[in-house]
Structure 1
């Protein structure tokens, strides 16, 4: 069973190397591309104030966070939750850098070592939509995912939105079957057998150039859905 964790963090500022800390972690679980409801969400006391710009983004005040657990108190539960999963993050270097810094303070293996399978949806979006805005808000608009309730950034809310965006971006055709209502079903023309002889049927085989073009197209589909498309899996 393929387990994926869509993850987001909020922080006191933009630079973990300058001592900024994680103040919120939100994550949702996907099993076989379906949300399970097994979420991870924690507010964290960073033991410092948020920068003014960051506070305007997430709205989590020092007073609100003062009675929340410190990262060291939630680290074990968090590492257990993400273990052996593929991690999906938008702009992964930012969040991974902060997680690595927090774990380094505890002399624990880095997040990168504990979770080597990391998919960056920002990289994926840039491949699919070169030259376009690929922020989470922009992608929600592009894939018609409602984010009207997103007034401030929140790690769990953003992880939920990102999960919907990721599923939309990586959606492939899983079946040749087409579900249609009876009224929309195509009409099948009936043919009556005839005694007249049927002419010789001519079969034109694809030439090498056409076969190569077809394989290039299928490989492109594989890359877009980050898996094998149905024409490869049924070949």
Structure 2
């Protein structure tokens, strides 16, 4: 176990499940993800990942994001809410609502955005994606609700198989997210709602952007 101070100074993680893999491993993961119906784009940097998203989403689209450290790190969250684009940025509308019940309704409606963006907690080399939320506000859009999904992740989240992906969720992603939640909200996180995204059956709907660096958790 080791410390990952970039994200949470006090959280112990299984560092063996948080390594940037070799190119052969990345290529095998890409092949299997594509075989499972996911579109895959592999880039070398945060800047390239942001450029990919900017070109991927058409003008006039409604766009929502779930919490993702990776999206924060590549600058997408700031670009969505403050950048020069022609999208309908749903977070700006949602967080401008004062009434708690109305804001919660708007958050649920935003799950059906034209484009929903977020991260993932693990990528199995065998072609499955694993993620979990405390509330479900991120993973609720992935399986069906959103018209299009873009998932951005560092290749450090690629692990050998589905069992290892579930292990990574428990021993890497959860401790770090729990630390973040306590610092940000004063509450503990939980693996309350979990998704195993095995296949995308609608051609072109879900795109996975893999960055050949260590991002997020």
Q: Do both share a fold (TM > 0.5)?
A: no
Structure with larger Rg: 1
The one of the two structures with greater contact order (alpha-carbon pairs below 8 A, sep at least 6) is 2
More strand by share: 2
Please report the TM-score for the alignment, with normalisation by the length of structure 2: 0.27
